[in-house]
Amino acid sequence: QVQLVESGGGLVQAGGSLRLSCVASGRTFSSYAMGWFRQAPGKESEFVATISRRGGSTYYADSVKGRFTISRDNAKNTVYLQMNSLKPEDTAVYYCAARQWVVGTGGYEYDYWGQGTQVTVSS
């Protein structure tokens, strides 16, 4: 079992930045690829970014490429999402998720999910 707790969301103006954090319980964090997903009101969940177990590989949705950066610190059992140049369309609840071994871009591929953190970008 892995428990995930996100933090760092909030209200920011367009063009601003936020850094989300997700802390995982357990001693096997490095066994999991990690992902960030988001869900805006009235929309389906959307893949944002994923990172491999040791951080050597990262993948991003086209909508955030060049603006968001996913990273991890296995010593701290934490994955981050640095979000720059935020746009109103980035407004959503952001979720981190864990999947054993390999990265994935589909939400159905992930086994564990956090409760989410709200990000609101005002225009």
Per-residue pLDDT of 23-82, as tens digits, reads 999 779 999 999 999 999 999 999 999 999 999 999 999 999 999 999 999 999 999 999
Of 61, 101, 84, nearest to 12 (Cα)? Answer: 84
Cα distance between residue 100 and residue 54, in whole Å: 12
Of 46, 24, 34, 33, nearest to 93 (Cα)? Answer: 46
Amino acid sitting at position 107: G
pLDDT at 119: 98
